[in-house]
Structure 1
Amino acid sequence: MGENIPLRKRENYHWFVVGTVCIGAFMAALDASIINVAMPTMSQGFSVGMDKVEWVSIAYLLTLTSLLTLLGSLSDRLGRKFFYTIGFGIFGLGSGLCGIAGAIPILIAARVLQAIGAAMLQANSVAIITSAVPPTSRGKAIGIQGSAQAIGLSIGPTVGGLMIANFSWRFIFYVNIPVAIAGTVIAAFILPRDKPNPHSSRFDYWGAIFLTPALILLVLIFKDGYKVGWLSPMILLEFLATAMFLVLFVIREKKCQSPMISLSLFKIKAFTSGNISGLLSYSLMFGIIFLMPFYLDWILKLPPFYVGLILTVVSVSMFIMSPISGAIADRIGTRILTSAGMIVASMGAGVLIFLGRRTSVFIDLAGLIMVGVGMGLFTPPNNSSVMGSAPPEHVGVAGGILNMSRSLGMSMGVAIAGTLYNSDFHSFHLIKHTLVRARILAFHLGFEGMAAMGIIAALICIFVYSRTKPNKLSPDQYVSFH
């Protein structure tokens, strides 16, 4: 397996490359789903409220969102193997620092470092497979990578529950270290050596400088606006700063020869509506996944292992429904499936509004399964429609925008869900309710907010979405949004 042997001379060698990429895909997906189970335990361990511990998730997602496009461009110029291998190491280092963190600010900072490593992995996984795997096998290779991600997402909550029940929450980070070490070594020996291309199209650094603070401020607005008031000086200042950065970004993109985002794409109705509804859908799902562990722990007093098992049904339901939805979408188009998906997901969030102290756990499961089924119905046809609506020369950029909107939606979902809960909990508790009753009512309002996002997304799908079937995508186009 000497890495100096040209890849084209190695029989089936590309499958070793796919396997190496799958290690990173599995590890990142596992970490993304394992963290939510530990949130209540970390909150108790650090003696902080939900409003502080939610930054463990938000900081990670915002860092990932901000760096994906930048690291993808740098990898094109400096070499994908280098960044992918280093990404394993940084992710492992960040995981170790998360595990030994003695205070919540240190944990949040370590999560930022962990997200930098995850961004290096995610920004390069598809590109490595695309360049290493022959076109005839590329779809299969991407399917294998997707399966690795699905397995990581599916088992993450259960593994997290087992770790917390038998050891401590710190082991949900320690478990990444041996995988990261193995991934670093395997990537160094297995991945094909690619030549740096310093003459690759220049990255729009000014665009990134203007867009990144705008995204961060946008999340802060949704996080703090409900709590301090939408017309408070702080929120108005954040609105003003966000608008300023967005205006500077638009001016820059119009003048730049190689823009970070092609603004002409947003003139395409299917592209714009698909990205907005996609953002809202992931806000709904991640907001619910963030709130549910606290409800199951604080209200139902379930042990972490059972919390993990219950959360698993979301990703499993989505995993089962996604290929079915994708196959049907090829025949009937996207509008019906995306609309139905968001309606089902909203109904699932609506079921959770009726949860109480003595509610059967089967009602919890029913609501979460509906959310997973709805997301499974919605996501494949929505992704296909967005990517199929983009001109061939802009497919790569379109995939980056789709990933960015999805990650931003995750961040916003956690921020909004946490804000709705915290603001209303304090109001209910101070005015007239016991601790448990105040928490239940606050959870209800959090779930109502997530249901409202799904309803808005459903309305977009019904009244704005393109009526046409999505264009057929080639394997090269298809991989851009996975």
Structure 2
Amino acid sequence: MIIVDGSIVTIAIPVLAQAFQIGTSQANLIIGIYLIIISALLLPFGQLGNRFGRTRLFQIGMIVFLVGSWFAGAAQQLLIILLARGCQAIGASMVMANSYAIVTDLFPPTELGRAFGVESIFISIGGLAGPGLGGLLIHYWGWRYIFWCNLPIGIICVGLAWWLFNQPHQVTSTGPFDWGGLFLLLAMATSFYSMSSLMMNRPQLAGSLLGIFIIGFALFWQHEQRVAVPLLNVSLLKEPVLRLPTLAAFFSFIAAYFFTLLAPIYLQLVVALPSQLTGLILMIAPIIAIFANPLAGILTDHFSRINVMRSGMLILVIAGAGLLTLNGNHEPWAVLGWSGLSAIGTALFSTANNTFIMSSATAEQRGMIGAITSLVREFGLVLGTSLVGLTFYGKLSLLKGTLVANAINQPRPALVDAQHFAYALALVLLLIAFRYIKQLERK
């Protein structure tokens, strides 16, 4: 539900703008507030999970998410839906910050890879279902049901969680809460999202916001080294066994969103396929991932996790190089082949990477490290989205000699050229990730 809610609203922005009689830029706040609050609260809820019990926070988070879903669907004013989306994001943060740690707590090391492989299935399903499900719900029932669809599933999930998670709540952290760190995280998340939204239209203001983000990050880093009970134990990131796989995951998440955002433009504007066929083609990679993730989990449990990680990243690099060959010919087979190969590489790398990171953590560290893992994914999403827009539309603007913010009606060769430029950056990011894995092998 949480993965779906990160993308299901995107397709409803024009409808929501009309419903609340606002511009689409204001309606985008409905997406933005969700991303900002999740990014800011993952680390705090990772620490609170250590204090009050991870499964307890997980259960409460689901209830909070459902309350937010109800009020978002019932909202009559923009302010109400923004508050409701904030409530959804708070609940989502509670769940995401503790899910990896709960899996690590419950499964023995010999089964951990398969456990994370199964969990990854639902991440893939969420990525598949979001836009398509949103379109169906809006068409047949209206925009309110993109939020209310969470309620029946969520009530079943809450009941199952209270029944299954009946072990005692373990407390592994005490001491004063890091309110200063929380404030700095909120400031960083707000400035970064605002910067990414204004990058193309108001570059000077975006540059100022980037400066605020960098200053906030520096202050946060220094603060976390001084506080008694930090939200982020900086010393952990100095350990290669955590730093290197986390950085590899971060760069791979950024690169992953290049194809996600550029493929629809390529298939519809360059290849000239209808939107229905485009949607079917883009469903193939998540479907492959549904089967590849559990198989990756089995391999992770039976072979060296670093070797599985390296193999997955090598496949991603090959697929990334293949995307540079897309020119409108041999379609849809070229897109199907390279995206399917990428799904296999992602399954191998991500499953082995999550297993390696979480199995290296002590019980006291799992809440924080699990929250870091989720934060890396969310931050990679936002940063990847920003870099795609900057490189793709920046290249189009250079080719045309004026600012271009819309791919429609652009010349086909220019679209292919801009796409190659963006995919070249994505390939560089994957090569950096591969280098981090090679460094990890030598440790």
TM-score range, shorter chain: 0.7 to 0.9
1:123 to 78, 91, 97: 97
> Is the CA contact 1:318–1:372 (under 8 Å) kept in the aligned structure 2?
yes
Normalising by structure 1, we get a TM-score of: 0.71
Instruction: Tell me what 2:422 maps to.
Output: 449
2:284 to 313, 321, 340: 313
> Is the CA contact 1:349–1:367 (under 8 Å) kept in the aligned structure 2?
yes
Instruction: Tell me what 2:380 maps to.
Output: 409
Instruction: Tell me what 2:438 maps to.
Output: 465
C-alpha RMSD of matched pairs (Å): 4.5
Please give the per-residue CA displacement for 1:290-347, whole angstroms capped at 9, x wherever unaligned: 45456667775735x6554333223223344445556276277267425413313423
2:225 to 230, 254, 277: 254
Please give the per-residue CA displacement for 1:389-411, whole angstroms capped at 9, x wherever unaligned: 76887555333322221211012
1:374 to 342, 345, 348: 345
Equivalences for residues 267-278 of structure 1 within 5 A? 267-269=238-240, 271-278=242-249
Instruction: Tell me what 2:34 maps to.
Output: 60
Question: Are 1:284 and 2:251 an aligned pair?
Answer: no
1:93 to 49, 54, 67: 67
Shift of 1:452: 0.8
Consecutive unaligned residues in structure 2, runs of 5 or more: none
Moved more, 256-265 or 73-82: 73-82
Moved more, 328-337 or 280-289: 328-337
Please give the per-residue CA displacement for 1:116-167, whole angstroms capped at 9, x wherever unaligned: 2212222334455566x47499746665544444444444455445435544
2:214 to 228, 235, 243: 243
Equivalences for residues 38-77 of structure 1 within 5 A? 56-77=30-51
In 2, the alpha carbon distance for the partners of 1:155 and 1:222 equals: 25
2:324 to 327, 350, 353: 350
Please give the per-residue CA displacement for 1:164-216, whole angstroms capped at 9, x wherever unaligned: 55445553333212222333455456642756959735443322322342244
Question: Are 1:163 and 2:111 an aligned pair?
Answer: no
SS of 1:454's partner is helix
> Is the CA contact 2:288–2:340 (under 8 Å) kept in the aligned structure 1?
yes
Instruction: Tell me what 2:307 maps to.
Output: 333
Normalising by structure 2, we get a TM-score of: 0.76
Instruction: Tell me what 2:184 maps to.
Output: 210
The alpha-carbon distance between structure 1 residues 452 and 424, as it changes in their structure 2 partners (threshold 3 A), is closer
Shift of 1:439: 8.2
> Is the CA contact 1:85–1:183 (under 8 Å) kept in the aligned structure 2?
no
Consecutive unaligned residues in structure 1, runs of 5 or more: 1-26, 471-482
SS of 1:466's partner is helix
In 2, the alpha carbon distance for the partners of 1:104 and 1:89 equals: 23
Please give the per-residue CA displacement for 1:66-100, whole angstroms capped at 9, x wherever unaligned: 21221233344345555434423332333344445
In 2, the alpha carbon distance for the partners of 1:40 and 1:371 equals: 32
The alpha-carbon distance between structure 1 residues 223 and 153, as it changes in their structure 2 partners (threshold 3 A), is closer
Shift of 1:466: 1.9
